[in-house]
């Protein structure tokens, strides 16, 4: 059905896909497995026409194709069901299914009757007893997912890509979904199924492809490979490019988290009884797959989910209360957010103004901002952190990702933090900038600062952490010392909750 | 390199406005011999001073990515209250109590009412998460209603003689309203460039999420900014009232649009985070000169509106093209 040859996709500084060869067969469900950042999503974006620039060739139904966009891929017969739903909440089920593909009468008016009866038909196929006039907003997430699938069925696509389709739906709905997938298989359609839930894959997939670092590592029949073999293929044998850093902790506890949880059903996020402590000069790595609750944990202790958080935070044995970011900052806890462009920086402002933003009261003299002091502080960090910029007056937008991340770090250093919360600190920055970031982290811990780093990169977690906390579905599933941690046992713990 | 081009572009943007203003002046001077006179220049300055007061507050709000549609009504209500207090004071009949107001007292009361209305806008926007457009649209109607209630729909006229000085007086060769506007402009420049509040305003407009994560109290900054805008609208109302020696219940109708026009022509982005007080002053001058010149040329008032609207469009299109090239 679909073959690719030497698909390579480069992003500035990174090779996301490295000569990928796929062979997807009709009448089969092919599972694609790999840890975060292995290249699965990039590959799917190429197959569904989101990315149009790449090297290599795609053959669909034996014809060479190069999609010019998502509409082009759809016309050819490829449908994708995204992890994030692409539906309009204030339109009905019927209207959503037919969005962009409306049926019209001879007069050019919407043919509502035919669309509705076709929608009823599709819902029946999916075993959904729902009124097609219901608004999407009134459906449960699982039902919305089924509407998305109905949309793909309407296209009568020959290849259907499902990206983590069961991440938001109940066990009963999963059963239903699997029945539908089985029907698709019988109709000789091809299905690409991406999931972290290995048990599911044994239930539904015929064959598997393991991806790692943008390459296909292994493929074969699902029945021929064991659970453990799959995991070790995903992890690979650690080819550690990074120098292992070991330190001696003073043992003095800086902060302790006790039973940090988020209220049930809080915006679809979960966090259950997270407890651990951070010591002086210690780096804790938190690993988990997508949706494990890592970011939620950092946000919660930084005062961003005040209305839903429970549990205690103790510093030097005293309970502290954090209800908004400034409370955390004043306690010496600072956060480098996951998305630095969206949450970390005011991109339109100069470098110096971003650095001074949280510390403006420190550069005030008798109520006025002291421009000379501000420049001096900016220059200090530009030099100390090696920020590459033409000057402190440069607009932050014009800097590279790695240098922007250093600016987020710089703005917090002026506040003399005790605990640094880093959320994916090296995402999207090149290898050199990554290594610089690790060195900076080490310099900071040498001064006694404690670091809690969330990362999706196993290599990074293993290289910089003194202890590794593994989370899955909002819970801690393992805490490993750097001596006992291996890629295998980390991934096992990250997947085990399923 | 990029910095230099960026700064150059910024200056170029302002330069464009200046060139546009210059061309306007030359054209009007050629077409009308009444235009390029000292008397007319002072006239234009006095005419735009009220708009500048309002537009400065509007600039601060728009820099936070907000908007305030209520300033025209707030202007009317505060003008009426200052007028009413000056003329009638407050009489509490059951207690047989009468509170009289001095000119200064009445002015302060008017400004406090303006700031309070702005404060109320800020609370609705931040605590109840009502979009600024809707919250201030409601206040536009509410404040106008209160103006009518307070004045029974009639003008409040004839005040102590010294009060007129604020609107019609002269000081060191310039109309008093021009001095008031100048002081407001200077203070606003200091606020935007030299103190913490100004920096927070730019940061919130530029990226509210990053500002929040930097520990900035977003709600407080917004409430302060809306309060300032309300107080400045009140100042405008007091000037108008003093000038006419009368508080008209329908004063200030549509003033919010002139203020927004000045801000936009001055290059402040409606999406926040980018702009300047100077730009707004320039924008207000361009609108003022345009109004004045078209009147002198005897252009029909209907055409005047068409021209004004077209200038706003042109200014925004040029601004968009500039920022696209960045």
Pick the more confident residue, A37 or A62: A62
- Residue A245 reports pLDDT greater than 60: no
Average model confidence (pLDDT) for chain A?
A: 86
Q: Is-contact A83 A48, C-beta < 8 A? A: no
Fill in the DSSP letter of residue A366.
T
- CB neighbours of residue B94 within 10 Å: 5
- Residue B4 reports pLDDT greater than 70: no
Report d(CA A373, CA A388) in Å as an integer: 21
Region A334-349: what's the mean pLDDT?
A: 91
**Closest in A329, A330, A369 to B195, CB measured:** A369
Average model confidence (pLDDT) for chain B?
A: 90
Categorize the per-residue pLDDT at A238 as very low, low, confident or very high, splitting at 50, 70 and 90. Answer: very low
Cβ-based contacts of B323 with chain A (< 8 Å): none
- Residue A250 reports pLDDT greater than 90: no
Categorize the per-residue pLDDT at A176 as very low, low, confident or very high, splitting at 50, 70 and 90. Answer: confident
3-state helix, strand, coil in chain B (%, to 5): 75, 5, 20
Torsion angle, alpha carbons of A348, A352, A356, A361, to 10: -110
Region A431-441: what's the mean pLDDT?
A: 83
**Closest in A304, A348, A367 to B195, CB measured:** A367
Total length of chain B: 326
Instruction: Output the pLDDT for position B7.
Output: 45
**Closest-CA distance of chain A to residue B11, Å:** 15
Q: Is-contact A265 A434, C-beta < 8 A? A: no
Cβ-based contacts of B210 with chain A (< 8 Å): 342-346, 357
pLDDT, one tens digit per residue, over B211-235 is 999 999 999 999 999 999 999 999 9
- Residue A105 reports pLDDT greater than 90: no
Instruction: Output the pLDDT for position A83.
Output: 67
Instruction: Output the pLDDT for position A102.
Output: 85
- Residue A214 reports pLDDT greater than 70: yes
Categorize the per-residue pLDDT at A116 as very low, low, confident or very high, splitting at 50, 70 and 90. Answer: very high
The residues pairing with A423 across neighbouring beta strands, listed in sequence order, are A454
Instruction: Output the pLDDT for position A496.
Output: 64
Report d(CA A379, CA A373) in Å as an integer: 10
The phi and psi torsions of A337 (rounded to 5 degrees) equal -70, 160
| The two structure tokens encoding residue B246 | 């009368």
Report d(CA B206, CA B266) in Å as an integer: 18
- Residue B16 reports pLDDT greater than 80: no
Pick the more confident residue, A140 or B111: B111
| The two structure tokens encoding residue A465 | 């952490």
Q: Which of A328-332, A469-473, B79-83 has the lowest mean pLDDT?
A: A469-473
Instruction: Output the pLDDT for position A136.
Output: 86
Cβ-based contacts of B203 with chain A (< 8 Å): 346, 349, 353, 357
The residues pairing with A22 across neighbouring beta strands, listed in sequence order, are A4
**Closest-CA distance of chain B to residue A340, Å:** 8
Region A281-293: what's the mean pLDDT?
A: 87
Three-state SS string over A294-356 comes to HHHHHHHHCCCCCCCEEEEEEECCEEECCCCHHHHHHCCEEEECCCHHHHHCCCCCEHHHHHH
Instruction: Output the pLDDT for position A246.
Output: 56
CB contact under 8 A, A346 and B203: yes
Region A56-84: what's the mean pLDDT?
A: 87
Report d(CA A34, CA A221) in Å as an integer: 16
pLDDT, one tens digit per residue, over A123-160 is 888 877 889 999 888 887 777 878 888 888 888 889 99
Instruction: Output the pLDDT for position B8.
Output: 45
A398: closest chain B residue by CA:
B2
**Closest in A342, A358, A367 to B214, CB measured:** A358
For A364-374, give one letter per residue: b (16+ CB within 10 A) or e: beeeebbeeeb
Percentage of chain A lying above the pLDDT 70 cut = 93
B210: closest chain A residue by CA:
A343
**Closest in A346, A361, A390 to B210, CB measured:** A346
Instruction: Output the pLDDT for position A233.
Output: 82
Distance of CA B61 to the CA centre of its chain: 11
Nearest to residue B3, comparing CAs of A389, A454, A286? A389
CB contact under 8 A, B273 and A346: yes
Instruction: Output the pLDDT for position B3.
Output: 41
> What ipTM was predicted for this assembly?
0.84
Instruction: Output the pLDDT for position A356.
Output: 94
**Closest-CA distance of chain B to residue A91, Å:** 23
Region A451-455: what's the mean pLDDT?
A: 94
**Closest-CA distance of chain B to residue A105, Å:** 40
Percentage of chain A lying above the pLDDT 90 cut = 38
Cβ-based contacts of A391 with chain B (< 8 Å): 3
The phi and psi torsions of A266 (rounded to 5 degrees) equal -95, 100
Highest mean pLDDT among A117-121, A359-363, B221-225, B256-260: B221-225
pLDDT, one tens digit per residue, over B148-168 is 999 999 999 988 888 999 998
Q: Which residues of A touch B (CB under 8 A)?
A: 302, 304, 324-326, 329-330, 335, 337, 342-349, 353, 356-358, 360-361, 364, 367-369, 390-391, 393-395, 398, 411
Highest mean pLDDT among B22-31, B36-45, B232-241: B232-241
Nearest to residue B70, comparing CAs of B107, B151, B125, B149? B125
Cβ-based contacts of A388 with chain B (< 8 Å): none
Categorize the per-residue pLDDT at A497 as very low, low, confident or very high, splitting at 50, 70 and 90. Answer: low
Pick the more confident residue, A174 or A395: A395
CB contact under 8 A, B207 and A361: no
- Residue A191 reports pLDDT greater than 90: yes
């Amino acid at each position: 059905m679909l073959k690719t040859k030497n698909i390579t996709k480069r992003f500035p500084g990174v090779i996301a896909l490295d000569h990928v060869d796929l062979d997807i067969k009709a009448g089969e469900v092919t599972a694609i497995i790999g840890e975060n950042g292995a290249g699965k999503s990039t590959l799917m974006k190429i197959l569904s026409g989101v990315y149009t620039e790449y090297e290599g060739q795609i053959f669909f139904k034996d014809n060479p194709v190069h999609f010019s966009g998502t509409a082009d891929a759809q016309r050819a017969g490829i449908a994708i069901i995204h992890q994030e739903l692409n539906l309009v909440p204030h339109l009905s089920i019927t209207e959503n299914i037919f969005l962009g593909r409306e049926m019209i009468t001879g007069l050019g008016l919407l043919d509502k009757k035919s669309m509705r009866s076709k929608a009823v038909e599709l819902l029946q196929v999916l075993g959904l007893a729902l009124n097609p006039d219901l608004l999407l907003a009134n459906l449960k997430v699982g039902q919305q997912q089924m509407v998305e699938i109905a949309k793909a069925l309407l296209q009568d696509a020959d290849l259907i890509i499902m990206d983590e389709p069961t991440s938001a739906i109940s066990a009963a709905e999963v059963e239903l979904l699997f029945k539908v997938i089985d029907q698709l298989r019988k109709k000789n359609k091809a299905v690409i199924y991406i999931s972290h839930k290995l048990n599911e894959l044994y239930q539904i997939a015929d064959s598997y492809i393991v991806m790692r670092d943008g390459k296909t590592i292994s493929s074969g029949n699902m029945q021929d490979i064991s659970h453990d073999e799959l995991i070790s293929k995903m992890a690979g044998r650690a080819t550690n490019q990074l120098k292992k850093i070991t330190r001696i902790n003073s043992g003095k506890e800086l902060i302790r988290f006790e039973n940090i949880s988020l209220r049930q059903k809080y915006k679809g996020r979960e966090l259950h009884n997270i407890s651990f402590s951070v010591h002086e000069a210690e780096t804790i790595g938190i690993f988990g797959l997508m949706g494990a609750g890592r970011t939620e944990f950092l946000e919660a202790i930084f005062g961003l989910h005040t209305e839903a958080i429970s549990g205690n935070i103790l510093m030097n044995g005293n309970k502290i209360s954090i209800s908004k970011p400034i409370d955390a900052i004043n306690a010496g806890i600072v956060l480098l957010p996951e998305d630095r462009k969206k949450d970390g920086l005011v991109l339109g402002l100069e470098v110096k103004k971003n650095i001074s933003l949280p510390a403006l009261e420190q550069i005030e003299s008798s109520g006025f901002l002291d421009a000379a002091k501000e420049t001096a502080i900016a220059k200090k960090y530009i030099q100390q952190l090696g920020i590459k910029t033409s000057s402190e007056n440069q607009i932050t937008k014009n800097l590279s990702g790695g240098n922007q991340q250093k600016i987020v770090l710089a703005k917090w250093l002026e506040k003399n933090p005790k605990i640094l919360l880093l959320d994916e600190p090296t995402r999207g920055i090149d290898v050199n900038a990554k290594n610089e970031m690790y060195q900076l982290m080490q310099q900071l811990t040498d001064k006694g600062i404690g670091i809690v780093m969330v990362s999706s990169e196993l290599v990074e977690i293993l290289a910089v952490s003194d202890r590794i906390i593994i989370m899955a579905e909002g819970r801690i599933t393992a805490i490993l010392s750097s001596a006992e941690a291996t890629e295998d046992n980390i991934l096992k713990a990250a997947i085990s909750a399923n | 390199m990029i910095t230099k081009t960026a700064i150059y572009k910024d200056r170029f943007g302002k330069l464009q406005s200046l060139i546009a203003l210059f061309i306007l002046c030359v054209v009007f001077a050629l077409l009308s011999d009444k235009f390029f006179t000292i008397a007319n220049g002072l006239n234009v300055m006095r005419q735009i001073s009220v708009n500048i007061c309002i537009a400065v507050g509007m600039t601060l709000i728009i820099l936070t990515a907000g908007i305030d549609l209520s300033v025209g009504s707030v202007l009317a209500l505060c003008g009426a209250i200052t007028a009413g207090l000056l003329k009638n004071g407050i009489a509490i009949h059951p207690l047989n109590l009468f509170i009289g107001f001095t000119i200064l007292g009445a002015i302060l009361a008017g400004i406090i009412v303006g700031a309070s209305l702005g404060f109320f806008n800020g609370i609705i926007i931040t605590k109840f998460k009502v979009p600024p457009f809707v919250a201030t649209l409601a206040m536009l109607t509410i404040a106008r209603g209160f103006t009518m209630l307070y004045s029974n729909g009639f003008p409040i006229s004839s005040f102590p003689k010294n009060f007129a000085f604020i609107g019609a007086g002269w000081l060191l060769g310039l109309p008093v309203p021009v001095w008031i506007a100048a002081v407001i402009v200077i203070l606003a420049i200091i606020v935007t460039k030299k103190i913490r509040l100004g920096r927070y305003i730019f940061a919130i407009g530029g990226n509210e999420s990053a500002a929040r994560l930097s520990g900035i109290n977003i709600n407080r900054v917004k409430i302060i900014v809306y309060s300032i805008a309300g107080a400045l609208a009140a100042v405008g109302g007091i000037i108008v009232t003093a000038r006419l020696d009368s508080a008209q219940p329908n004063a200030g109708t549509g003033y919010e649009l002139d203020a927004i026009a000045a801000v936009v022509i001055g290059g402040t982005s409606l999406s926040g985070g980018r702009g300047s007080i100077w730009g707004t002053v320039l924008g207000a001058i361009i609108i003022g000169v345009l109004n004045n010149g078209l009147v002198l040329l005897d252009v029909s008032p209907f055409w005047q509106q068409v021209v004004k609207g077209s200038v706003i469009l042109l200014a925004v299109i040029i601004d968009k093209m500039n920022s696209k090239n960045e």
